[in-house]
Structure 1
Amino acid sequence: MAFRPCRRYKPRYKLGVRAWTMGREKYLIERDGRYFARIVVPAELRRILGKTELRQKLGPDRKVALKKLPRAVADLQDQLDAARLQASEKAQTPETVARLYYERELARDEQLRFGPLAEDSIVEQLLGRAIRPALLDKVRREAGGGSLAAVEPILDAMIEAGDVVAARGTPIYLEMAKAILRARTEAVTRQVERDGADFSGKPTDPILIDPAPVVPTTRPLSVLGGARVLSEHSTKTLSDLLPMFQEERRVADATADEYRVAVRMAEEHFGTPKPICEITRQDILAYKRALLRLPNRYTMRFPGMTVPEAIEANQKRATPYPTLSPATIRDKWLAHLRSVLGWCADNGIIPDNPAAGVKVDEGNAFREPSRYPFTPGELAKIFGPPLFAPEVPFDTRHWALLLALFTGARSSSELARLRLDEIYTEQGVLVFHLAGASKNVRSKRIVPVHDELIRLGLREYVQMLRDKHETLLFPDWKPKDKINDWFNRTYRHQQGVTGKGKVFHSFRHTLKTALARAGVAKELNDLITGHADQTVSGTYIHDQATNMIVAMAAALNKVTFDGVDWRAIRL
């Protein structure tokens, strides 16, 4: 019987090869409404390419992107192949290129001094002795300043002669040029020494010296983790395996950044990156104990310090900074690390997940919330003069604060990604479709537009942006978190809103609280704020005659927010 794929599967063509998938195109990603071809750069090639992934733009249209995808992938594969050639045995490292240059320069100097034509070159030898001290000072200054202009022609000539394989402008090319710059200083130094009849000089730069032989460790891998080696990936580190994990999981950019930080923090705690097969449960438990002593925002408070260094520096302070909350440790840093290690176990890299079951036991004691809703008095300050004075035209900041309050949307993961084509009328109700939300499936939801936003001119603002051919509702939100950082660090302090736990995310808590106080049912409250799903099974409230969107709009418009005189704004 011929194979007939299930209807939910559809054919995919990749570089002429037919495959059956769940509708996902390998190497195709979508970011902010635009499509890209993407290939993760293997760990061994990242030093050459200077990147962890390669991308090529495919445009905003998915159908067109799918047509361009095979060619784009082929181009990216060509770049990887070129890098593999650079990494092959025929290619040189910066160290070997530096040594090749150094040896040739000394050989040329010996030929000039002692070769068959040495007597004929006596004038050239005398001239060299006269100018070499000044030349040595010059090359030392160039080496100290990192100026590559003098050595790039040397490297280009070596490439042209076929002695070196490198493409101009690539990271490996620059590393080779820097290596030649160091070797050039050593070569001129030897020549000056020889001018003084000293031929015993040896290079002192480590780049020209063979490294000392590595003494085998008394605890070889076969003892430490040999029993846990299941594949060729078992001896790789967490940072080596993270790109493979992220490519399969297809996590959003914000979440991918958190995974990278989680891996970096763990490896900082370990001291040196450990092979995945050597990470034990005791290592994870020790890491958990370290996180409980780690000051929050340690990279900002102790720039350049690792996790152990920041812990030590914080403990030496007269008044140590607050440490990470147990919830942050449990739900973010330990959870992300557990996910990566669990993926390794599921994919046959290690036999089990050493982080499984490791969590922070908070007990049953009362815990103060980290975020609080705004009070009516604080809302009056936030939505008052001078920013919200009558006749002040609205810009990105005004609408960002208004939408944060009336939608309860998260800042960088929802509001910053909201596209103009995600604002439309559904069943007679103007809605925001938060399709770009990244936290979880429930976060991708429809939120009705509050009548107050329409009165304040949201429709007109959206049309103005469309006339300018913008694609995002908040094109000024970039760089990342520009608006909420402005609110948290500047605006709220200017307006006298300085209470504990009062930040941009408090708008979300404020709407959640206001919905409850307005008597809105919990089911509707959760649908509006993304704490319940809006799948087919969740698109109707208990009254089957009342559509979800209409019911949500009616519920949302019950909220008025005491303390703010909305009629006084933009009169």
Structure 2
Amino acid sequence: MATAEQLSKARVRALINDCFQELRSEAEGHSYVYSDPDRERHEQRRMIDEQLVDLQQQIAGGRFKPEVETIAKGVMASHGINAELSRGVWRDILEGVARALSEQARLSEFRLRDRLADYTPTDPIFAPSSQSTEAVAPENLWEEPPQTSSGPTVKDAVAAFLAAKRKSWVGKTVSSRGSQLALLIEHLGQDRPLSSVISQDMRLYRDGIQRLRSRHHVGASLTFIGRQTDCVEHRIHAKTALIHLETAKTFFRWAVSEGYIERSPAAHLSVEKPKVQKAAKARRPFTSDELKRLFSCSFFTGCKSKGRRYLAGDVIVKDAQYWLPLLGIYTGARMGELVQLHLADVQEDAPIPVIAVTDLGSGAIGSGTEKHVKSKAGVRTIPLHPDLIALGFGDFVRQRRKGKQAAKRLFFEIPFGRDGQASTAYSKRFARLLDAVGLSDRALVFHSFRHTVEDALRNAKEPQYVIDRLIGHSDGSVSSSYGEGVSLEIAAQSIRGMKLPISPREVLAGA
């Protein structure tokens, strides 16, 4: 007769394997007779999914239902174990029984699809090399089950995936994808062989992420199941759930390409896309009155001092906060493209002064000198409007080249955000500036300069291909990939001829 002291974890694993063999025999011996096969198989799958979710919740919470306890007591009795067990050993046995029931459910789901193929358990504790085809005899209960390994674990594979993507993703993307995949690791188990993951596991993951609380990231100690809620109103948006699932699918596609697995277990899964409701524009161009109000403020016409820029005075501080809005309205470039500019990207003394939007010369991620271009079409050279040169932008650049802090970046005083984005810190400063001058419409952002410039080029009757060339858009046509594209001279003429709602230079001159 076994005693409580003899029940090590290895012995408990062997006992649980014995339990699973009995449950497996029960599932294999079940025959399904359907009057309406498709509908009844669908109903069986639904019930199995619900059973798996329920068992996972019991395991995660450490609270097991009476039916699990009944099976556990039966397994112990069949092996002559009637000693009083410690709380930890009893919980291990209950968890093992719940895992055995989960594996039985997966087997049942597999048999709904295939009655003849051999079934390989997905839970490592029931892997083929660690289980016997016969019930475990009491005298063999304490033999250590042999260990098995089949390729990288889920945790190691995710780590390798993120390491590979760091070469092409910005820091913010790596961080967000890592957080999403952490949920996948928790769901599957970090030490589980990646090759053992099947579509049933990923269906459960898909269903789980759709039940996540809207603020599921709050409470780092919570489990994946603990982050879920039955209240539909408090769940994450369907679009967010879709992003989580797409991240997992991208990971599995990568794993296939690396030869870690033969096929993706998530390839055919999807989340129903939310219906797109028409809403007010998130961004819009500036009107002439709004531009006058902005460029008539103390930031551009004169302030008390560098530290008191919201108070009118005689001091004009020509730094990043002065030049970035002016570059925005005269070039239509994205905020991040301008903030990340290196001194090498500016040719202020060339016959046609330009700035270059490129990732050439980018520093390492986290260095504060990295550069990122949104797309291939985003790589471009933008002629500088004569007004910028007249306002002193060329002098500013030349002075920056001479300064003691003449590092790589033109606007070195604007730090990169913790998310690795060049625009994060400055976007907050610009939002405060808009609020300060009374432009509180949330549809007005720095990107509104971009919309304003596009309209100004259209109003000048510039061809769309010229506009795309200056703004950094691709029209998607094959012809756009041929030749050198619009010449610098034509681009400069277009910049000079665009019809802005007002001339910021004239506003500053009349201030």
Q: Which residue of 1 aligns with 2:16?
A: none
Note the C-alpha offset of 1:422: 1.0
Tell me the percent identity. Answer: 20
Decide which of 415, 420, 427 is 1:484's aligned counterpart.
427
CA-to-aligned-CA distance 1:230-263 (integer Å, 9 cap, x gap): 951254366434334325x533434433433443
- Specify the SS of the correspondent of 1:462: helix
Distance 2:229 2:503 in 1: 47
Q: Which residue of 1 aligns with 2:256?
A: 345
**TM-score normalised per structure 2:** 0.55
Q: Which residue of 2 aligns with 1:509?
A: 451
Distance 2:294 2:184 in 1: 40
Q: Which residue of 2 aligns with 1:566?
A: 505
Note the C-alpha offset of 1:515: 2.4
CA-to-aligned-CA distance 1:370-417 (integer Å, 9 cap, x gap): 3333333332232221212256232111112222333333333x2232
CA-to-aligned-CA distance 1:173-231 (integer Å, 9 cap, x gap): xxxxxxxxxxxxxxxxxxxxxxxxxxxxxxxxxxxxxx86955432469523689x995
Note the C-alpha offset of 1:266: 5.4
Distance 2:416 2:121 in 1: 48
Q: Which residue of 2 aligns with 1:256?
A: 174
Distance 1:325 1:382 in 2: 38
* Residue 378 (1) aligns with residue 378 (2): no
Matches within 5 A, 1:84-103: none
Note if contact 1:294-1:311 (Cα within 8 Å) is conserved in structure 2. Answer: no
Structure 1, unmatched stretches of 5+, are 1-210, 542-546
Note if contact 2:158-2:251 (Cα within 8 Å) is conserved in structure 1. Answer: no
Q: Which residue of 1 aligns with 2:84?
A: none
Identify which of structures 1 and 2 has the higher relative contact order when contacts are C-alpha pairs closer than 8 Å and 6+ apart. 2
* Residue 443 (1) aligns with residue 378 (2): yes
Q: Which residue of 2 aligns with 1:233?
A: 152
Q: Report the AA paired with residue 484 of structure 1.
A: S
Distance 1:533 1:522 in 2: 9
Structure 2, unmatched stretches of 5+, are 1-87, 107-119, 128-147, 303-313, 360-371, 418-423
Distance 1:558 1:308 in 2: 59
Q: C-alpha root-mean-square deviation of aligned residues, in Å?
A: 4.3
Q: Which residue of 2 aligns with 1:522?
A: 464
* Residue 470 (1) aligns with residue 412 (2): no
* Residue 422 (1) aligns with residue 345 (2): yes
- Specify the SS of the correspondent of 1:447: strand
Specify whether residues 279 and 524 from structure 1 end up closer, same or farther in structure 2 by C-alpha distance, changes over 3 A only: farther
Q: Which residue of 1 aligns with 2:322?
A: 398
Paired residues in the alignment total: 342
Distance 1:383 1:311 in 2: 49
- Specify the SS of the correspondent of 2:293: helix
Decide which of 344, 357, 360 is 1:434's aligned counterpart.
357
Decide which of 211, 224, 227 is 2:122's aligned counterpart.
224
* Residue 388 (1) aligns with residue 300 (2): yes
Specify whether residues 526 and 441 from structure 1 end up closer, same or farther in structure 2 by C-alpha distance, changes over 3 A only: same
Q: Which residue of 2 aligns with 1:494?
A: 436
Q: Report the AA paired with residue 121 of structure 2.
A: V
Q: Which residue of 2 aligns with 1:286?
A: 207
Note the C-alpha offset of 1:465: 0.7
Note if contact 2:161-2:254 (Cα within 8 Å) is conserved in structure 1. Answer: no
Specify whether residues 477 and 338 from structure 1 end up closer, same or farther in structure 2 by C-alpha distance, changes over 3 A only: farther
Q: Which residue of 2 aligns with 1:554?
A: 493
CA-to-aligned-CA distance 1:89-127 (integer Å, 9 cap, x gap): xxxxxxxxxxxxxxxxxxxxxxxxxxxxxxxxxxxxxxx
CA-to-aligned-CA distance 1:61-105 (integer Å, 9 cap, x gap): xxxxxxxxxxxxxxxxxxxxxxxxxxxxxxxxxxxxxxxxxxxxx
Distance 2:411 2:246 in 1: 31
Distance 2:440 2:221 in 1: 29
Note if contact 2:343-2:408 (Cα within 8 Å) is conserved in structure 1. Answer: yes
Distance 2:274 2:349 in 1: 44
Distance 2:152 2:466 in 1: 48
Q: Which residue of 2 aligns with 1:163?
A: none
CA-to-aligned-CA distance 1:519-539 (integer Å, 9 cap, x gap): 221111111122129999455
Distance 2:287 2:334 in 1: 19
**TM-score normalised per structure 1:** 0.50
Specify whether residues 565 and 435 from structure 1 end up closer, same or farther in structure 2 by C-alpha distance, changes over 3 A only: closer
